[in-house]
Every structure is written in C-alpha cells, then in structure tokens.
Amino acid sequence: MKLFARVLSVSMVMTVAVQGHAYTCTPGTGQVALYRDGNFSGPCTILSWGNYANAAQMGIANDSVSSVIVGPGTRALLYQDSNFSAKLNTLEGSWASSTFYASMGVNANDSASSIRVARIDGGNIATNYLGNLPNNRESYWTDEIQGLAHDDSHWYMTQNPRGDSPQLMVWPLSTNMSGYPSLRVAMPWQLNRFGCDHFGDPDLFQHPVWGGLLVVPVEGCRDPYGDMGGAKVGVVALFRAADLSFFAMDTLFAQGQGGASAEKAAWLAIHPITKTTLFSSSNVVDVNNPVVAYEVDWDDLQPNDNPAYFLWGGYGTAQLWDAEAQNYPWIYTPQGGVFSSDGRVFYLVNGYGCDTGDYIRAFDADGFSPYQGNTFSMRTASASEYGKFNFESHCSTGEEPQGMDYLDMTGRGMPFSGQLHVMLLDNDEIDQDNLYLKHYSITP
C-alpha cells in the first residue's frame, strides 16, 4: 500500500509541474515530441504520423529518449530495436489534449531505437501501470483467488481455495482489502450436484426486474441437460448480487468447438453496450478456437434451480488478430477478460507457467456484430518488468495471472486509481496464495 501511495503522489507532483511549462517541442494532433532527457528537457524532435525505423529517421540520438509528449488523438509505439523490433512502450492519451509521459517506465529509459506514430483508431487503452493494491496480500480469502467484477457499490470476487468448496465474496467498493470480505459463500447445491469444481472470472449485469446478477463462468460440471453422454461442460451460473444466492444456470454450449476443452471456462465478459452479448473461451484461444459470443436472453429469465435456456447464439465469434506479427496468436490458459466501459477495447489476460507467457493483451473491439465472425485486432500487449504497460510476473516462482475488471476510479475518492484492474496470484506451495491487484490507467 505504501508503494501505491508513493506512485500516486509522484504522478500528482508531475501533473502540477507540467502546467505552465513552456516546451521546446509541442506536438499537434497526429504528432509526438521525443525528448532526450526526462521531464521534457534536452534536445527534442517532433514526429508526425508515420513509421521511423531507426534513430536517424527519428531525428534523435539512438537509445536516448527519456520523455515523450503525445499529441491529441495520437498513439506512439516505441521499440527497443530498430525496424520496430521488441516493443518498449505504447503511449497514448486523450482526444482533446496532449498527454505527458515524463518518464519511460520500468527499464525503458534511453532504449528507443524505432517508433511508429499512429492515430488512435480505437478506444484509449489503459496501459499506464500504477502499482499493486493490495500488494502481496495473504489471507484465507486470497488462496486461489480467481476473478473480479463490480457494481455501483461493491466488488465481487471468486475463489477456489485448496481443500474447500469454490467461494463467492463481496466487498464494499471503498475497501483497500486489508480487512475481510463482508460476505463469503460456498458453491451452492444447485452446482454441487453436477460436480462443478471451479469458479472463473465473473462479470455483473444489472437486470431491470431481478436487480444485480453476478454472472460466473463455472468449470467441470456434468452436462445438466444430460444430452452430452456424460461429458463435462462449462456453464454460466447467475447469483443475486444482493446476497449471492443462486439464481439460474445454463451451459456454455459452444466451448471447445475447435478442439479445445469443452469443460473449461475461466472467464466471461458481457459487452457493456449491447449488454446481451456474453463472451467466453475455453483454455485455448487460437485460429481454430476463437472467442465465442453468446446471446443472452435476459427478458425471459426466471429465478429457478433448474438448467434454464438463457444463452443462445447463431453464434458470433471474435478472432484475435495480431496485425504486427501477422498471425492469430496462440493464447494458452486465458484467465480473465473484460471490455472497456465504452466497449471499444477488449482485454484478455493469460498465462500459467513460463512456457505460455503472462500477458495482458488489448484488442480493438470497435464495430462488433454479435451474430457474425468478427476480428479484434491487437493494439498492444504488456511486458514483464518493462515500460509503462508493466505486468510484472515471475512465472518461474509460480506466479499466475487471474481475473480482471474495468472500472474508472477517477474522482471516486477510493483507495485505487486507474481503469483496468488485474489480479496476479503467487501460487505458494506451503501456505495461502498471496494476491497482487494491479491497476492501470489510460493517461499517466
């Protein structure tokens, strides 16, 4: 917590210092200014929309950039090597004004050797790492913690503690999580009877009749309709946000269509604009196993303890495309997914063990159509111990990304800041797992 408070105070000081400063290089719309020294000092250059493959083209000494001003509506992609190799930083800001990056982030100072300057052709991405809060929190409620969601007053979490039933819990939104959840309940009999054994990263839907519903992906259930020959399936379970009581369930019938596991469902995300499209995937996302979009029939939903048909689909899909690498990345063990509140950016975090990579990837989700095949193009991915979009993860010691949520905490007077909130778990062998909740903002 101390670390987080320190990060916040530094950024506030920086904001004050920025005001009233006269800059040698002032970028306009579609431009960036690169400075040799920190805090926008020393020799500088202004670059317009385009690609600059080496230091000579950038017009500034190689491995020298220490601060950047990004003009309105502009995105700067900085690379450690020439010819756009080894992504260093994705820096962008608001449409209305310039954004000031007074430093380059972890291990990224004096490193840039090529740069792309682009228009923001998608929503703003929350790539600015603020810190952990809670930081290394260990408690009965952090062991195998899995996912995060919110409504206007509360956080909701899922957990699969070792040697105990999967759990749901709720916290006031104002908490710093140094205490204990205000309510924590075990997996109910309506799911136990099917042998379900895992809660994933949830989302929350405000139902006009039934009130807040926590929407949870659940794994390892025997098919509740009994029409899959005893095979296990992933399901969606709904719980009343008010008391975490069971409400209804249905199967994620399209999981594993491309060969991935049909019973895996580690995350789901409800589209924040349509509110009737629910996204999920199995344990692999690749060209054969796209993210699946289910249509949710909220209107006919009734509270009951039987399998209920509320998920439908034609069904739409989202292929995840990496335009820079020109491929559909193989994303193993997705752990959390969420949309920005305007629906324009889709975030997916994955990883478990050093061979799969621990990444937060951000995709352009503009123009999504729920009944068609869609392509979400990747805008950037996090790095570990590098740059502004730092997702520090030590896979060799068992650290594992978990669920995520998107909520703009600006101006709420809450312990956290930022818009994107991502869990990391340390997977201790001998005692309870410790939780790091990482926070990312759109602008520094």
Q: Binding of Ca ion at residue 399 (CB under 5 A)?
A: no
Choose between 113 and 190: whose C-beta lies nearer to Ca ion. 113
The type of residue at 441 is S
- In whole angstroms, the minimum distance from the beta carbon of 6 to Ca ion comes to 23
Name the token pair of 200: 């994933």
- In whole angstroms, the minimum distance from the beta carbon of 126 to Ca ion comes to 14
Name the token pair of 263: 């019973």
Choose between 60 and 284: whose C-beta lies nearer to Ca ion. 60
Measure Cα distances from 56 to 36, 50, 62, 110 in Å: 14, 14, 8, 15
Structure letter (DSSP) for residue 396:
G
Residue of 31, 66, 99, 251 that binds Ca ion (CB under 5 A) = 66
Q: How far apart are CA 78 and CA 81, in angstroms?
A: 9
Q: Binding of Ca ion at residue 443 (CB under 5 A)?
A: no
Residue of 124, 158, 251, 434 that binds Ca ion (CB under 5 A) = 434
Structure letter (DSSP) for residue 188:
P
Q: How far apart are CA 300 and CA 6, in angstroms?
A: 50
Site string for Ca ion, 354-393 (x = CB under 5 A): ----------------------------------------
Name the token pair of 413: 């007077």
- Binding piece for Ca ion, criterion CB under 5 A, among 17-25, 217-225, 323-331, 424-432: 424-432
- Binding piece for Ca ion, criterion CB under 5 A, among 51-59, 153-161, 316-324, 398-406: 398-406
Q: Binding of Ca ion at residue 408 (CB under 5 A)?
A: no
Name the token pair of 70: 């990004």
Q: Binding of Ca ion at residue 431 (CB under 5 A)?
A: yes
Cβ-in-10-Å burial (0-12, 13-18, 19+) of 299 comes to: exposed
| Residues 362 and 125 sit within 8 Å (Cβ to Cβ) | yes
Choose between 299 and 342: whose C-beta lies nearer to Ca ion. 342
- In whole angstroms, the minimum distance from the beta carbon of 34 to Ca ion comes to 10
- Binding piece for Ca ion, criterion CB under 5 A, among 209-217, 256-264, 311-319, 396-404: 396-404
Choose between 408 and 428: whose C-beta lies nearer to Ca ion. 428
Choose between 8 and 149: whose C-beta lies nearer to Ca ion. 149
Cβ-in-10-Å burial (0-12, 13-18, 19+) of 248 comes to: buried
Residue of 4, 380, 405, 424 that binds Ca ion (CB under 5 A) = 405
How many residues lie near Ca ion (CB under 5 A)?
Answer: 16
Q: Say if residue 315 is preceded by a cis peptide, omega within 30 of 0.
A: yes
Name the token pair of 38: 């920190």
Residue of 14, 51, 103, 110 that binds Ca ion (CB under 5 A) = 110
Task: Tokens 């957990």: give the residue.
Answer: 159
Handedness of CA 215, 163, 176, 243 (dihedral sign): positive
Choose between 289 and 434: whose C-beta lies nearer to Ca ion. 434
Segment 198-227, which members bind Ca ion (CB under 5 A)? Answer: 201
Choose between 109 and 377: whose C-beta lies nearer to Ca ion. 109
Structure letter (DSSP) for residue 139:
S
Q: Say if residue 134 is preceded by a cis peptide, omega within 30 of 0.
A: yes
Return the SS3 of 9: helix
Site string for Ca ion, 32-61 (x = CB under 5 A): ----x-------------------------
Q: Binding of Ca ion at residue 63 (CB under 5 A)?
A: yes
Please enumerate in sequence order all residues whose Cβ is within 8 A of that of 64, keeping only pairs 6 or more positions apart, or say none: 36, 55, 110, 112
Q: Binding of Ca ion at residue 428 (CB under 5 A)?
A: yes
Q: Binding of Ca ion at residue 138 (CB under 5 A)?
A: yes
> Residue 237: which H helix or E strand, with range?
strand 232-240
Choose between 9 and 397: whose C-beta lies nearer to Ca ion. 397
- In whole angstroms, the minimum distance from the beta carbon of 42 to Ca ion comes to 7
Q: Binding of Ca ion at residue 419 (CB under 5 A)?
A: no
* CA nearest to 347, candidates 331, 336, 358: 336
Choose between 389 and 436: whose C-beta lies nearer to Ca ion. 436
Residue of 113, 167, 251, 289 that binds Ca ion (CB under 5 A) = 113
- Binding piece for Ca ion, criterion CB under 5 A, among 63-71, 232-240, 283-291, 294-302: 63-71
Name the token pair of 313: 């689909």
Pairing of strands 345-350, 284-285: unpaired
Interface contacts to Ca ion, rule CB under 5 A: 36, 63-64, 66, 80, 110-111, 113, 138, 149, 201, 403, 405, 428, 431, 434
